[in-house]
Amino acid sequence: MSEVKVNKLSPRSGTTVTLGDSGDTFTIPSGVTLANSGTFTNFQSTGIDDNATSTAITIDSSQNVGINETSPEQKLHITSGGTTYMRVENTTLGCVTDFGTTSTGSTIINRSAHPILFWTDTTERMRIDSSGNVGIGTSTPTARFDTRISTLTGKVAEFHNSGGYGIDLTVESNSGVNTISSGTTQGLAFATNSSSNERMRIDSSGNVLVGTTSDYSISSSTATGVSALQDGAFKIFRSGFNPLYVGRQSDDGSLVEFRQAGSLEGTISVSGTTVSYNGFTGTHWSRFQDNSTPTILRGTVLETLDEMCDWYNLHFDVTTTTQDEDGNDVTETHTEKVSHVLTDGQSDGDVITYNHEGTDYQATIVKEADVKHMMSKVSDTVDAKNVYGVFVAYDNDGDGYNDFYVASVGSFVVRIKANETITKGDLLQSNGDGTAKVQTDDAVRSSSFAKVLSTTVIETYDDGSFIVPCSLMC
């Protein structure tokens, strides 16, 4: 490189400087001071011309550099009326990356088969490979979005709007469970096409809802969809078609199992073209006239009365407001039904004030339509023809009614009077004191209500009466 010679040194603008042996000169522009060391200082608002026809590069007093821009607003400011790129090229590796803008927006283009890498300090944080897969925490992404975390547990992604509503994706590898949470007290909704086509949601209580946005009361007349509640309840509501289908493929066996305290108590099974109800006892609801709950021994014989059981509900409209995934309020109204026991002076059709979950509602008393459940009493008629069945247990559902179950068909136990001798196949009649006696012949009569299946005594009571397995035919 030839030596630069300066033939005149002056702080004033307009000084001519000669470069090298060629004698080429340039004029020091305004604002430039040439120091004794031979370097430029205080280089302010000075443009570097392209063949002296236009300003190609500008470096302003804030040390902003403009390319084709005389008023740069950033440290590097490139202006172009068309496609604008800044290119980084490594000829040895064959890597060419363009940073810029096109008609479709801001772009980063790798014009080779190499990935685009994003680093902090000396650690790679993200990459986009040549297939378009995005990897975070991995250099070999296998999907369009592949995120890996090295800790046992951790939050993979978090999406929240300005209102605080959002979704968290979390890996819980120590328990083998991966979680998706709303990140707020709101639920999660799953939609196809758009938010107006919601297909399923998990509400803030943990209930899974399909075909509905809220859990309906089981007594609602407008309920729809499927509700799988976090407390174990499962509800299916549908109109026009069967709400539940249960089937096996080509083999026989159980369709439904019924268990209590972990023990199998009954099944519904299929064998060929026959469906069997196994462990079956057919029962009906009944009630004593005074709605009392005296101690009644299991298997006690009961007679019907000429008075029907009645049940009443309170009907009132409940309006609920939930929020969709966009944070918009969604308001729905449904009719709630709550069991109600009439008090003095109340009757069907009355409107009363009822507090439901802390809110007062105007509720209408509505009598349930029922045509087959009658009240009963402990049998006090010998050879009674109106035996309803035998006592099973009280229905302790907490609805205010002291209903009990009466076994009328199928197999169950019957309470036999003390000291009665029984054999298998004996027909039974009422003894007139809540116990049964053996019928004197084998003719099935209107007073015959059961047949002894086994002489095995299940339990003997304090009065000497005992229960044995029987077939009921009330």
Mind giving me the DSSP string for 192-212?
SSSTTSEEEEE-TTS-EEES-
In a domain, 461, yes or no: yes
Beta bridge partners of 213: none
In a domain, 304, yes or no: yes
In a domain, 427, yes or no: yes
Residue 41 is part of which domain span? 16-82
Q: CA-CA distances (angstroms) from residue 70 to 73, 78, 199, 263?
A: 10, 10, 57, 87
164 CB-side CA count, 13 A: 3
**Alpha-carbon gap, residue 389 to 284, rounded angstroms:** 9
- What is the residue type of 465? S
Nearest to 167 by CA among 184, 147, 146, 150: 184
Nearest to 214 by CA among 314, 331, 328, 338: 331
Nearest to 422 by CA among 377, 458, 391: 458
Q: Check which CATH number belongs to the domain holding 287 and give it.
A: 2.40.300.10
Domain termination residue (choose one: 30, 53, 82): 82
Is residue 137 classed as helix, strand or coil in its secondary structure? coil
Domain termination residue (choose one: 36, 63, 82): 82
Strands 466-473 and 450-452, by their bridges, are antiparallel
- In a structure prediction context, what are the per-residue pLDDT tens digits for the chain, which is 474 residues long? 334 444 444 444 555 655 555 556 666 655 555 554 444 444 445 566 655 456 788 888 888 998 888 899 999 998 887 777 788 888 888 888 888 888 788 888 888 888 999 999 999 999 999 999 999 989 999 999 998 877 666 777 788 777 777 788 777 655 667 777 787 777 888 888 877 788 999 988 899 999 988 888 777 777 889 999 999 999 999 988 999 999 999 999 999 999 999 999 999 999 999 999 998 899 999 999 999 999 999 999 999 999 999 999 999 998 888 766 566 787 888 888 889 999 989 999 999 999 998 999 999 999 998 889 999 999 999 999 999 999 999 998 878 899 999 999 999 999 999 999 999 999 999 999 999 999 999 999 999 999 999 999 999 999 999 999 999 999
In a domain, 437, yes or no: yes
**Alpha-carbon gap, residue 151 to 66, rounded angstroms:** 45
pTM above 0.85, yes or no: no
DSSP string computed for 290-357: T-------TT-EEEEEEEE---EEEEEEEEEEEE-TTS-EEEEEEEEEEEEPPPTT--TT-EEEEEET
In a domain, 413, yes or no: yes
In a domain, 442, yes or no: yes
Domain termination residue (choose one: 50, 82, 114): 82
**Alpha-carbon gap, residue 232 to 227, rounded angstroms:** 10
How many structural domains is the chain composed of? 2
**Alpha-carbon gap, residue 227 to 208, rounded angstroms:** 6
Buried b (16+ CB within 10 A) or exposed e, 432-470: bbbbbbbbeeeeeeebbbbbbbeeeeeeeeeeebbbbbb
**Alpha-carbon gap, residue 342 to 91, rounded angstroms:** 92
- What is the residue type of 247? G
In a domain, 22, yes or no: yes
**Alpha-carbon gap, residue 275 to 240, rounded angstroms:** 24
Nearest to 209 by CA among 182, 186, 189, 194: 189
Whether the CB-CB separation of 379 and 387 falls below 8 Å is answered with yes
Which residues have C-beta within 8 Å of that of residue 37, sequence separation ≥ 6? none
**Alpha-carbon gap, residue 469 to 451, rounded angstroms:** 9
In a domain, 39, yes or no: yes
